[in-house]
Amino acid sequence: MGRPPSFFTNFCIRQNPKTPLQNPNSQIRKRNLCSNNNINNRGNGEFKQNPDVKVVQDQFFKAKEVSRIIRTRPRWEQTLLSDFPTVNFVDPCFYNEVFKQQKNAFLSLRFYYWISSQEGFLPDRFTSNVIFSGLVKAKAAKLAQSFLEFVNFMPEPSYLEPYAECLCENGLIEEAIGVFDYLKRVHYCPSLKTWNSALSGSLKAERADAVWKFYGDMIESGVVADLDTTGYLIQAFCMENNVWKGYELLRRVLEDGHVPSNVAFNKLIRAFCKNGNYSRMSDLLHTMIAKNHSPDIFTYQEVISGLCKRNMKHEGFRIFNDLKDRGYAPDRVMYTTIIHGLCKMKWLGDARRLWFEMVQKGIIPNQYTYNTLIYGYFKIGNLMEAERLYKEMCDIGYGETTVNYNTMINGLCLNGKAEAAYELFKQMAERNVVGDVITYNSLIQGFCKKGNIAVGINLLYELLKQGMQPSTASYTLLIEKLCKMRQVDEAIVLWKDMQERGIVPAIWTHESIIVGLVEQGSLAEGIDWLSVMLKSRLRPRKETFERLIQCLSEADKWADALCFLSYMLKIGYASNECIYLLLVNKLCKDNSNRVEICIGKITEGAKAL
């Protein structure tokens, strides 16, 4: 649970503050600039003007002039007193008239700070509420917070309610929790609109915990949730990857005859796409249509993006074409998404046709669209077309950025052109374009694939020297290549460095070290690594088991070989017959009575196959 801001706590516990606020009734002076008695007096048929009227009119015009100066003169604080030597700026009647004519919360705040520094100024509760309310209406949450701390007063709850809403909209969730807690203590219940705003702001700030905190307080206050509230709760479940609870809540709402907004559906669709549950995603689409909530462009974007990310580009392309047939107009993001999916499938002809279709519709490709198609040409090995498109992108003004360089460097490394990629990398430094982890990872992998491990390691050290946080990809291929070169000790040093930096190694990184150890004869150490891997509930590939069994049998470690064969079959792998033949031949040569055991394992394996 969040703690209330310091100024709320201080206000509630302070009994005798150093600069206490005066009684509002004693501070708020009479503000009527004129009364009915001051309008006119008629005596003996003659009109007589009250002298106070002239004073009021004079103050009005001077306040208007002061307000104009504040709006137009940059450093008015230095000259305002000399410009108006007869004006009593600390008179509430005068400065409230200035605020009234200013109608700008930020300039009013600046003027307030100025008059508060003048001798004789006394805090005015009415004015403080006006300034605070203006800042809240202007959505200036942090300025409103600073103003409260400066003035050292507590607004009325009716002023605090929109302030809490403003804090949530600005992502200041902990501060908003403090305001809501204060309102709860003074028994003031915000409206449903304010509670929903708090839920929405918490979601934008990716604070699912705050959603449940606000919702619990809301229910405790006796406020009844509406359909918007339900939509926010569904989104919170999705944010926590608790998609089935979100789906169950949606199902109950639908059974009651209500349909949440498309946003709730879209979040569920995204979550099911992420988890690979496409049948449930399809059900949601059909439910939307059945409930007269036609999927919008954002819904289809979630579906297509999810399918493409899960390597279901055919289905994504089909839905994209169906989308256009239904009359929807895809935007640049959706075009880029489907072009990227087509490029991954190496369908460059279809990707290129979509490119021209997008341009014909007046949608200008951005650098991400260009990079997507450039990546596609690299994918099929068409370096010439990729470089031509890159030059076109630079010529139209997208220029030399880290993203653009990364696309070219990665593409060249993908096609075995690590040296050419390194030249581009040096060009980046010359042109003050900063490389990132992706840049280094592409180069490391490019040189590793060419067998130049030394350059790859130097690039890793340079990455670390630059103060960047490496990723799993920074180490994986280096460790794999070092193990294949029988330099397992160096690979283990890199693996330990990953662990110290809090980077989780990929599964095949463990496997590379296991295979490397057993191939160099360190069978016991390799088995220890595999045991640790299994205890961590990591599932090695079948090939790792087979290579370990092969090395164990060659070293006459029959018991261990048969043990791992049994375990491999137990977890569902069906080994190929070469492993069984290897074991049988070895056992027959040794005239071992374990031939029958091995034949039994072969029979089990055949059944599994």
For residues 193 and 122, the model is more confident at 193
Tens of pLDDT, residue by residue over 478-511, are 998 998 888 889 999 998 898 888 888 888 888 8
Residue 575 lies in a domain: yes
In a domain, 347, yes or no: no
Please indicate, yes or no, if residue 78 is contained in any of the structural domains.
Answer: no
pLDDT at 558: 67
The stretch 592-598 carries a mean pLDDT of 53
pTM over 0.85, yes/no? no
In a domain, 594, yes or no: yes
Alpha-carbon torsion angle 34, 36, 40, 44, nearest 10: -150
Q: In degrees rounded to 5, what are phi and psi of residue 501?
A: -90, 5
- Asked whether residue 552 is assigned to any structural domain, the reply reads yes
Give the strand pairing for 46-48 and 41-43: antiparallel
Total domains in the chain come to 1
Check: CB of residue 185 under 8 Å from CB of residue 219. Answer: no
Split at pLDDT 50, 70, 90, the class of 156 is confident
Confidence label for 40 from pLDDT (cuts 50, 70 and 90): very low
DSSP state string for 69-94: HHHH-TTGGGTHHHH-TT--TT-HHH
Q: What is the 3-state secondary structure (H, E, C) of 125-165?
A: HHHHHHHHHHHHHCCCHHHHHHHHHHHCCCCCHHHHHHHHH
The C-alpha atoms of residue 172 and residue 167 are separated, in whole angstroms, by 5
DSSP letter string, 500-527: HTTPPPPHHHHHHHHHHHHHTT-HHHHH
In a domain, 81, yes or no: no
Report the range of poorest mean pLDDT among 8-12, 353-357, 497-501.
Answer: 8-12
Q: Is residue 602 part of a domain?
A: yes
Q: How confident is the model at residue 17 (pLDDT cuts 50, 70, 90)?
A: very low
* pLDDT band at 34; cut points 50, 70, 90: very low
Considering the domain boundaries, does residue 184 fall inside one? Answer: no
Instruction: Judge contact between 582 and 588, C-beta under 8 A.
Output: no
Count the alpha carbons within 13 Å of 250 in the hemisphere toward its beta carbon: 29
The most confident of 189-193, 520-524, 590-594, by mean pLDDT: 189-193
Tokens 């029958």 — which residue? 596
Which H or E run contains 340?
Answer: helix 332-344
Find the domain containing 568 and state its range: 544-609
Pairwise pLDDT comparison (181 vs 342), residue with the higher score: 181
